[in-house]
Amino acid sequence: MDSFELNKIVGGVLFALLMIFGARTVSDIMFASQAPEKPGYVVATITEGGGEAPAEKAEPAISVAELLKTASVEKGERSFRKCAACHTVDKGGARRVGPNLFDIVGRALGAVDGFSYSSALMEKGGEWTYEALDAFIAKPKDFIPGTKMAFVGIRKPDERANLIAYLRSLSDAPKPLP
């Protein structure tokens, strides 16, 4: 191989590198992008306390007593699937992560023997009325701050009423509706 052939190969490689870097420089000039003031994405969150939450559509406040008049036990049984990972409903059934919920309506808070309830629930006292169950199922952490229950809650009032109707049906002597 003579020097002329070697010069052509080296010239070709240099020309290719010049074209690659030249095209990159030209594209950077044509499509210049500005760096953001803050890198990353802004994630909208709701702050507790001082911040204002975004306005939501206000649903008319319907009492759980009114909703229970038309509640469906069958639909409540389907809604209970969300609870079944942690709770059982069989009479004399075993405890799981949460206590057994058989005959819960009218039962005192923290009344299942051998279950380790949170101190917050034990200090609350009272019994599981329809209203208490509705408030707890809606958002457990709001009804009993400090509860160990990690469930976020059920937002829809009619779905909560269906679930409460199902829980009410799980009793040898269901409590009368309010």
Q: What is the CATH number of the domain that holds 162?
A: 1.10.760.10
pTM over 0.95: no
**What integer pLDDT is reported at residue 94 of this predicted model?**
84
38: in domain: no
- Is the pLDDT at 87 greater than 70? The verdict is yes
What CA–CA distance (Å, rounded) separates 26 from 15? 16
Range(s) of the domain holding residue 114:
64-169
Count of domains forming the chain: 1
26: in domain: no
The structure tokens listed for 157 are: 């009032």
Q: What is the mean pLDDT of residues 73-95?
A: 90
Inter-CA distances, 131 with 14, 105, 122, 167, 177, Å:
81, 10, 18, 13, 11
pLDDT digits (tens, 9 = 90+) for 26-62: 888 888 777 777 777 777 776 665 555 555 555 557 8
**What integer pLDDT is reported at residue 114 of this predicted model?**
84
Judged on CB neighbours under 10 Å (0-12, 13-18, 19+), 55 is: exposed
Residue type, position 109, single letter: L
Read off the DSSP letter of residue 170: S
74: in domain: yes
Q: What percent of the chain has pLDDT over 90?
A: 46
